[in-house]
Amino acid sequence: VKRVLVTGATGFIGRQMLAPLVARGFDVHAVARTPETTATEDGVTWHAADLLDPMQTARVLNVVRASHLLHFAWYAVHREYWTSAENVRWVEASLRLVQRFTELDGRRAIVAGTCAEYDWTHGFCSEAVTPLSPSTLYGTAKDALRRVLEAYAAQTGLSLAWGRIFFLFGPGEHPERLVASVARALLAGEPAVSSHGRQIRDFLYVADVAEAFAALVASDVRGAVNIGAGEPRTIASVVEMLARASARPELLRLGALATPHDEPPLVVADVRRLRDEVGWTPSRTLDERLAETLEWWRTQRLA
């Protein structure tokens, strides 16, 4: 049986990750610093461990003895993660995790990367072509981690894939991020502010990100794979869709927030590897997912 250890399992993506892996027949083990349970529920066995601690990392790897590793855990405090020195600690912890996993006969590791590894001045991000030139400590840390792990995998025979996550949204998103903040304002009947919105981005619903990763885990595809919808959309069209779905379009304030002068005009994923090699595409449209997300925020208001 294929046993997968999922790190960061209580995170924004991680918590969406477990059901799709169970559905694909994996024996799923989830690790988090403070899981709600350390029992087995819905086919998922939970473990408590702080992966910044070498002893706790070794212990959970020894207990689980997974054949597959899906590594999402990272420093993820809103805004601060771009520049925090904690990124360096997570490079260290991630190198340790993947090494120990491999030494314990782990066969395949999938690690969460980021579109911030690319040089965004190129806009269209293609795994084999677009230069990697991260402009933040976060992007640099992920890029450097991948460089070491790919060389390590080539040397040891570990099967390694690296999923580069683009822009995402959905239930559980930080309330100050774009889709969440606009949805919340609309539902509260307050002005929903955004930048001019002409930037073109590649958005994917968080549960679809998780489905894509589950497909990647189950595949034999190695190397970097963009995790995106591959659908270029202006930010304006995204927030306008939310405004329509909320039936309060008059609340939208495009241009009320300044646009940073270095904001790239277009950041879109080339999804050919994900579609043709991994064999995954989203099952629903972005507009359907945006409407679902608005409804989720409505339930949060009532709760």
In the region spanning residues 17 to 36, those forming contacts with a copy of itself, defined by CB under 8 A, are: none
How far apart CA 273 and CA 276 sit, in angstroms, is 5
Contact range with a copy of itself by CB under 8 A, out of 62-70, 94-102, 120-128, 256-264: 94-102
Contacting residue, 50, 92, 263, 295, with a copy of itself by CB under 8 A? 92
The strand pairing partners of 124, in sequence order, are 268
When asked if residue 137 is in the footprint of a copy of itself (CB under 8 A), the reply is yes
H helix and E strand count, the chain: 9, 16
Own/partner contacts of 177-182, CB < 8 Å, gap of 24 or more, are 177/78, 178/235, 178/238, 178/239, 179/203, 179/238, 179/239, 179/242, 179/290, 179/293, 180/297, 182/239, 182/242, 182/243, 182/252
Query: Under the criterion CB under 8 A, does residue 147 sit at the interface with a copy of itself?
Result: yes
Token digits for 181?
């903040």
Q: Using an 8 Å Cβ cutoff, are 271 and 229 in contact?
A: yes
Which range touches a copy of itself (CB under 8 A), out of 29-37, 40-48, 85-93, 203-211? 85-93
Q: Is 91 in the site for a copy of itself (CB under 8 A)?
A: yes
Nearest to 35 by CA among 20, 51, 54, 21: 51
Structure tokens at 99: 């090494």
Residue 144 or 266 having the CB closest to a copy of itself: 144
Part of the chain binding a copy of itself (CB under 8 A), chosen from 87-95, 220-228, 255-263, 294-302 = 87-95
Q: Which residue has the tokens 């999402």?
A: 72
The distance of closest approach from Cβ of residue 92 to a copy of itself in the complex, given in angstroms and rounded to an integer, is 5
152 binds a copy of itself (CB under 8 A): yes
1 binds a copy of itself (CB under 8 A): no
Q: Which is nearer to a copy of itself, 151 or 188 (CB)?
A: 151
Binding site for a copy of itself (CB under 8 A): 54, 83, 85, 87-89, 91-92, 95-96, 99, 134, 136-137, 140-141, 143-145, 147-148, 150-152, 154-156
